[in-house]
Structure 1
Amino acid sequence: MQQEQQKPQLSFWQIWNMCFGFLGIQFGFALQNGNVSRIFQTLGAQVDDIPILWVAAPLTGLIVQPIIGYWSDRTWGKLGRRRPFFLWGAILTTLSLFIMPNSPTLWIAAGMLWIMDASINVTMEPFRALVGDNLNEKQRANGYAMQSFFIGVGAVVASALPWMMTNWFDVSNTAPAGQIPESVKYAFYWGGAILFVAVMWTIVNTKEYSPEQLAAFEKAQAHQPQISTANVQVNFLKGAVIAGGFGGCVLLAVAIMKLEKELYLLSGLLIAFAMVFAVAHVMQRKQSVNNGFYHVIFDLFTMPTTMLQLAVVQFFSWFSLFAMWIYTTSAVTSFHYGTSDVTSKLYNDGADWVGVLFAAYNGFAAIAAMVIPFMVKRIGLKGAHAANLSLGAAALISFKFIGDPTLLWIPMVGIGFAWASILSLPYAMLSNALPSSKMGVFMGIFNFFIVIPQLLAASILGLILRHGFDNQPIFALIIGGVSLLLAALAVSRVTIKAQ
């Protein structure tokens, strides 16, 4: 009888349809990652101002994903549990992609990045939870690998769109000072349309289990009983004191020593966490625990051990990725093309080539998504992830030692394998440690360990480059490589459920 309550195996095409929307989501992310720094510089941003402008992306994810995860766990309507969020997120993201390249000023562009990233997160977070909802434990790794495949394929095309517009359709990649090139604008228009169509494909062709069915599946699972928020006392006050103490020290150091303004972001983040933990402490004392805010913070403090261990891996992995995304354009144009003049053809040729390189690593990631399952069979989840992160580390460091920009496609192989691994193997290690009824909120909380390192990178990378490396962005890529090596070492400490 218990066997009948297990989630049935889904076919290849059912998993394909369920994950196809990720193809569109990646159009939004790839266009953002490959072109927003270019847009910022075109509208007047200096290289050392770029990290603080990029803070919108991770900060919106930090706030939006746990909220959307919590709400989607408790949603059921005509479209189901997760699909309403797919629909509204896709609509908002498409509109943002249409508006972003038409931003008339730098600050409007920065504001649009906030809106765009929030919209993408509304769409993306429930996609991660949908794999846990619809697939049994044996198939979840296949589901996340399929998502990685679509991420790679979608990003190949999306990253190369500005280059394609110029070289295939003769759309200009230059413009007067302060104006976004037409090639970038058309790339964003096409990206928005493709995103909407791909997400709609998943909405139309994927079914979700009803709350009653999910409850029956949950009873059949071997997970430990869930912790009651009413009966367990969590030391929120200790967390508030630690976060607030560190935040106050950073704030005082910036004010007294007149350090860079970016560090205000770090102190503000720590103080904000302290305030959130303090509110949770008051709620706990008053037994006001039946609300979404308290549940999210409670789950943060009582997360499974595997999730806590993976948090360290994610921290160093995403610090590296953020360094790569925000500094590759300025690193390649200045170090390999020898110019920082955003109005010059040489700069824009270099920026277009970065788009091609980003397409290349995503292409290799699509191939890696098919290879990684075989690596897992040979050396296990942890061994495969550590190996792929090490490949990515060597690739980023090699940028400093490759003089010919046409050869920069070679390190994209290692970056592609690392990217595909980061998008799949941590989720494969984590998913079976999570209760199905809280899949959405825990996936949203897991995003904290993606977002926090990005906020830290936005706070300190500019400072490190200015004071340690004569403001040369190529060294940001080397820092990213070292961070990936640390992530590879941290994988060995993760405890995973035996399969």
Structure 2
Amino acid sequence: MSFGFLGIQFGFALQNANTSRIFETLGADTSNLALYWLAAPITGLIVQPIIGFYSDRTWHKKWGRRRPFFAIGAILASIALCLMPNSTMLWMAVGVLWIMDASINISMEPFRAFVGDMLPPEQRTTGFAMQSFFIGIGAIVASFLPWIFTNWLDISNTASEAGVIPDSVKYSFYLGAFMLFLTVMWTVFSTKEYPPDAETENKLSNREKRKIDNEQFYRKKFFDIGILLLSISLVFTAIIYFLTLEKELYVLTFGFAVFGIVHILGAIYISQGRSYLGLVSIVKDFNTMPKTMIQLAYVQFFSWFALFAMWIYTTPAVTSYIFKSSDTTTAAYNDGADLVGLLFGVYNGIAALAALLLPVLARYTSRRITHLIALTCGGIGLISFYFISDPQMLWFSMIGVGIAWASILSVPYAMLSGSLPSEKMGYYMGVFNFFIVIPQIIAGTVLGLILNHFFNGESIYILVTGGVSMIIAGLLCLRVDDRDEVTV
């Protein structure tokens, strides 16, 4: 069931460890990296709930419910991975990142619902931990690939001229594309899914039964929320314009406007007697999320804000703060960038091992305490970058990050799955991605401002900020109502 995650994480690990390097090689300014990275989370924000919603409503006697989406995403993502290191201009790399992230999300989102579909509550912590294990294994190998090609196969780690991606990075992406396709297809052809019961199948096929209850109540609610969100968007747009604030902030006002328009569309469709439409159900379910999901949203926000800061700024922080070079053509810069790939591999390797131990710790304490411990380890690991001058000491920092990463990929999903109705598992797992994506969008819009206005361009302070954010996430986890927790 989880083997496909091995390949999916090949794609994500190559993206996370090398995208900033590719952008900088193609001429990106460090202060704009977060803005260019916004393509990835915005894509996830759009794709995941839609894929989740329609995978809940998909059933084929041969292909099942989730597996068609596994296959389509794997094909598209493999193509994008081959295109990424062959980008010749910055705008092309940003566009390919958009396509690649969308494609990976098409495969990844149903994998989360897959575990919720197939396993009873007492096995879900272990099931999601197994996904973390395969994620860790895939990521450690993928993160090490440029170093392996350089040191084992003597493939060049520097390009012959500025603006060209090194061959070691290109071959890494090619191998990643092959592994993603192979492993996801293994899951597609080696697993079976349970068919929907007669009541669920009848509801999905009957338009009248898909209509929402309390139509007039939700029509007014959606319209009021839509107007409020559009008003907030207009006010903040005016403030940004007249105070000549950074243009990146327009991304946030655009987000408010999109959410407002979607709510108003939902109200209009209800007025037209078309509350059976998917968009109405999506908006309604978003506004009636389970309590546990709302509580976990705060935990996810601070966790993924920290991770996004780490993925974007570890390369410039390590190369400039520890290796003392920001020139992408120098050996020092590329040695530092390679070390970042190795460090990312190490934290994923630690995550693979920690994933096997987290269910045991959760059983003897609780999932909330387990997540608190793990996130605190990760926060301390990120903060420690500031106090390190010897690059070799960074290996110890990544141990804490690896423990946090294993928990982030498993424990919140195990807590969430017990609070979700089975017929909406895919959709809510997709909506849960909002609380991964929104902090990334906010990070992408404000981290550049913080870097320039408060940290004097020193990327190392962004990593410290990420560490503090991760510890806050751990403390917020104590507030979560974990319904189907099993302890001894």
TM-score by length of 1: 0.93
Equivalence for 1:58: 41
Deviations 1:441-484 (A, max 9, x none): 11111111110110000000000110001011111101111111
Match of 1:130 among 86, 93, 114: 114
Report the Cα offset of residue 249 of structure 1: 2.6
Equivalence for 2:380: 394
Cα distance 1:491–1:379, how it changes in 2: closer, same or farther (>3 A)? same
Match of 2:175 among 190, 214, 228: 190
Cα distance 1:238–1:485, how it changes in 2: closer, same or farther (>3 A)? farther
The one-letter amino acid paired with 2:189 is V
Match of 1:252 among 224, 227, 238: 238
Match of 1:329 among 300, 307, 315: 315
Equivalence for 1:319: 305
Deviations 1:299-327 (A, max 9, x none): 10011110111111111111110000011
The one-letter amino acid paired with 1:47 is T
Task: Specify every segment of 5 or more residues in structure 2 that has no aligned partner in the other structure, as ranges.
Answer: 204-208
Assess if the C-alpha contact under 8 Å between 2:377 and 2:404 holds in 1.
yes
Equivalence for 1:12: none
The one-letter amino acid paired with 2:471 is L
3-state secondary structure, aligned to 2:327: coil
- Report runs of 4+ in structure 1 exceeding 4 Å deviation: 213-216
Deviations 1:357-405 (A, max 9, x none): 0000000001110111121122201011011111111111110011111
The one-letter amino acid paired with 1:104 is T
Deviations 1:224-283 (A, max 9, x none): xx9972326332234224422332232112111111111111111111111111212222
Equivalence for 1:465: 451
Q: How does 1:373-452 map to 2 (within 5 A)?
A: 373-452=359-438
Match of 1:207 among 192, 199, 213: 192
Please say which of residues 177-186 and 403-412 is displaced more in the overlay: 403-412
Match of 1:93 among 55, 77, 97: 77
3-state secondary structure, aligned to 2:247: coil
> In the alignment, does 2:150 pair up with 1:166?
yes
Match of 2:339 among 336, 339, 353: 353
Report the Cα offset of residue 498 of structure 1: 3.9
The one-letter amino acid paired with 2:347 is Y
Deviations 1:15-39 (A, max 9, x none): xxx1000000000000000001100
> In the alignment, does 2:13 pair up with 1:27?
no
3-state secondary structure, aligned to 1:211: coil
Aligned counterparts of 2:112 and 2:176: Cα–Cα separation in 1: 21
> In the alignment, does 2:22 pair up with 1:49?
no
Deviations 1:75-95 (A, max 9, x none): 122211111111111011111
3-state secondary structure, aligned to 1:27: helix
Assess if the C-alpha contact under 8 Å between 1:230 and 1:289 holds in 2.
no
Assess if the C-alpha contact under 8 Å between 1:230 and 1:287 holds in 2.
no
The one-letter amino acid paired with 1:115 is I
TM-score by length of 2: 0.95
Equivalence for 2:325: 339
**Count of residues paired in the alignment:** 474
Cα distance 1:282–1:340, how it changes in 2: closer, same or farther (>3 A)? same
Please say which of residues 207-216 and 134-143 is displaced more in the overlay: 207-216
Aligned counterparts of 2:122 and 2:212: Cα–Cα separation in 1: 30
The one-letter amino acid paired with 2:6 is L
Assess if the C-alpha contact under 8 Å between 2:211 and 2:274 holds in 1.
no
Aligned counterparts of 1:286 and 1:76: Cα–Cα separation in 2: 29
Identity %: 54
Task: Specify every segment of 5 or more residues in structure 1 that has no aligned partner in the other structure, as ranges.
Answer: 1-17, 219-225
Equivalence for 1:9: none
Aligned counterparts of 2:122 and 2:213: Cα–Cα separation in 1: 33
Aligned counterparts of 1:491 and 1:368: Cα–Cα separation in 2: 19
Aligned counterparts of 1:214 and 1:348: Cα–Cα separation in 2: 59
Aligned counterparts of 2:228 and 2:460: Cα–Cα separation in 1: 35
Report the Cα offset of residue 344 of structure 1: 0.7
The one-letter amino acid paired with 2:260 is A
